[in-house]
Amino acid sequence: MRNVMIATGLSLTALAGCTENAAQIPTSPRPEFFQVSQMPDACRHEASVRYAQLPGNIIMEPAVMDTSGGYSVRGTYATTNMQHSIGCRFTANGEYIGLGRV
Provide the pLDDT for residue 67: 77
Structure confidence at residue 45 as a pLDDT band (50, 70, 90): low
Which are the contacts of 21, defined by CB distance < 8 A and separation ≥ 6?
2
Structure confidence at residue 92 as a pLDDT band (50, 70, 90): confident
Distances (CA, A) of 16 to 20, 53, 81: 11, 23, 27
- Of 5 and 84, the structure prediction assigns the larger pLDDT to 84
Q: Range of 30's domain?
A: 22-101
pLDDT digits (tens, 9 = 90+) for 8-34: 443 344 333 333 333 333 344 444 333
The answer to whether residue 4 is domain-embedded is no
The answer to whether residue 9 is domain-embedded is no
The total number of structural domains that make up the chain:
1
Phi, psi dihedrals of residue 69, rounded to the nearest 5°:
95, -5
pLDDT digits (tens, 9 = 90+) for 48-72: 666 555 555 666 676 777 777 777 7
Report how far residue 89's alpha carbon sits from residue 83's, in angstroms, rounded to the nearest whole number: 21
Torsion sign across C-alpha atoms 51, 52, 58, 63: positive
